[in-house]
Copies of this chain bind each other. A is one copy, B any other.
Amino acid sequence: METALTPLEFGRRARRLYADREAVVDRDLRLTYGQFFERCDRWSAALQKLGVSAGDRIAYIAPNVHAQLESFYSVLQIGAVLVPLNYRLTADDFAYLSRIVCAHPDYVDAVDRVRSQLPKVEHLVSLGEIRHGWLDYESTLKSSPPEFAHPVIHETDLATINYTGGTTSRPKGVMITHRNAYMNVVGTLIHFPMTPADRYLWTLPMFHANGWTFVWTVTAAGGTHVCLGKVEAKTAFEKINSERITVMCAAPTVLIFLANAPERVRKGVRAGVRVLTAGAPPAAATIERIESEFGWILTHIYGLTETSPFISVCEPRPEHQAFTAPELCDIKARQCVELITSGELRVVNAEGNEVPHDGQTLGEITASGNVVMKGYYDDPDATAKVIRDGWFYTGDAAVVHPDGYIEVRDRLKDVIISGGENISSVEVEGVLLRHAAGQEVAVVGFPDEKWGETPRAFVVLKPGASITEDELRQFARERMAHFKIPQSFIFLAELPKTATGKIQKYVLRGNRAAIHMQ
């Protein structure tokens, strides 16, 4: 007998078994699973009353608040498609998206400013303050009954569209099916066991690959979601202690940020917190610091938004028990092996053949399995570029060690990962090149203690042209999300190039010291 594989099933089970247990803590608000799901049901009814039917897209732009968490159930259970937006995107990025946009008070102004460019949007919903021309989430929800029409949901139906910055300027909408999400949750729970005793701290944005599916994983385990407004070190440490946090997800940059907090802030933090880290390769030194200084236990896991997101996990082996702490951290810094449920993983050369397991030969990581997305929304060309012959090409360059463990060495293309977000160097270059003075630009990621990487721009001016670093920064600010702005602008007479004219970005990276000396 087959019943649909959908993350809604985890909600169904939690509702039955954990009705009296704490589901969500968001500032002063505490909801049991019973209360939480009743709210979801009421919002589902409200959405249907607004005319939403199966297949419609509902966009959210919000930080990690309970209303955003509710969307992962209320929108999905009426067969609609949730589009959780990165709040660092500009309104232009999502203008064409959906019939309803729900925005947190932090973003209603931004949405209002581009409202005229959103002809398809029929309703705007404010997730927290009453505002002219906007529906109020809370009062609309409360005045709706908890009964709604239950459409049949198939496991291959779309659950979410998650926008990801690729190597082109326009973000691509990753189509995640109910089955994709379900399989990622079960895989996570197999390799990262959780129980109803767990209390999860929301540092990772829920919009980011659906919070690595923890919006459902925590619920499946019967644990408690603890929201955190801004990821600010003092608040984070306070919450970890006061809410007795046991589990967290955090990109390496967040870990570095926490590790570098002033001693008075981080002193006395709870030990034993299990942390799942992904989003960029964590340095072994970072892992060692977090484990030895905080007494936390790190599991390194790897994937992309396109793979729901997890396709590999650092699995401990019996022989690792004999390793020293630094050796173990070296292992933990690797991406390692496919999850039991994520499907097949191969590192292949340009001809599609697997590279030798020598720890040296670079190849591209490819994946095939039930966590691979359905495709990019409304973009068959982009889809065909990354899914070929049943394999998803990650664009990540990796080696395979003799034990079969993979290790990412670089992005094949030069995407910069800053604060856990992808920045397309090509996109930033494109914007800078729009300035009349610019002749050539190359944007490269440089290591940064706080953000992991930050972009730097190398600029060659047109003959006779003149511009200052500040002027160019101002130009960029008017045209790009803040986090994409290069941290510095370095003017060169020419860019290093190959014989065929390709810019040698590795030279720019490698010679940064020399360049700074100029």
On A, residues with C-beta under 8 Å from B are 1-3, 5, 9-10, 12-13, 16-17, 156, 179, 186, 189-190, 193, 195-197, 220-221, 315-318, 337-338, 340-341, 343-344, 368-370, 372-374, 387, 390, 392, 404
Contact = CB atoms under 8 A, between A and B. Distances in A.
A3 B186 contact: no
Contact of A1 (B12, B193, B373): B373
Among A1, A317, A318, the one with the most B-chain Cβ atoms within 10 Å of its Cβ is A1
A162 to B, nearest CB: 16
A343 B2 CA distance: 10
A156 B186 contact: no
Given A3-B368, A9-B343, A17-B338, 19 more contacts: A1-B369, A1-B370, A1-B372, A2-B156, A2-B179, A2-B370, A3-B369, A5-B370, A10-B340, A12-B344, A13-B344, A17-B337, A186-B341, A189-B190, A190-B190, A190-B193, A193-B193, A197-B318, A220-B340
B316 A195 contact: yes
Nearest to A156: B2
A12 B17 CA distance: 35
The count of identical subunits is 2
A340 B189 contact: yes
Given A17-B337, A195-B316, A196-B318, A3 B343 contact: yes
A315 B196 contact: yes
B190 A186 contact: yes
Nearest to A188: B190
Given A196-B317, A317-B197, A387 B340 contact: no
Given A186-B340, A316-B195, A3 B370 contact: yes
B340 A13 contact: yes
Among A12, A190, A196, the one with the most B-chain Cβ atoms within 10 Å of its Cβ is A190
A306 to B, nearest CB: 10
A364 B227 CA distance: 41
A372 B2 CA distance: 8
Nearest to A372: B1
A404 B317 contact: no
14 contacts: A1-B372, A1-B373, A1-B390, A2-B179, A3-B368, A3-B369, A5-B370, A9-B343, A16-B404, A17-B404, A186-B341, A189-B340, A196-B317, A197-B317
Contacts of A179: 2
A9 B345 CA distance: 12
Contacts of A197: 316-318
Nearest to A14: B340
A1 B387 contact: yes
A194 to B, nearest CB: 9
Contacts of A5: 370
A372 B10 CA distance: 18
Nearest to A307: B1
Contacts of A392: 1
A2 B387 CA distance: 13
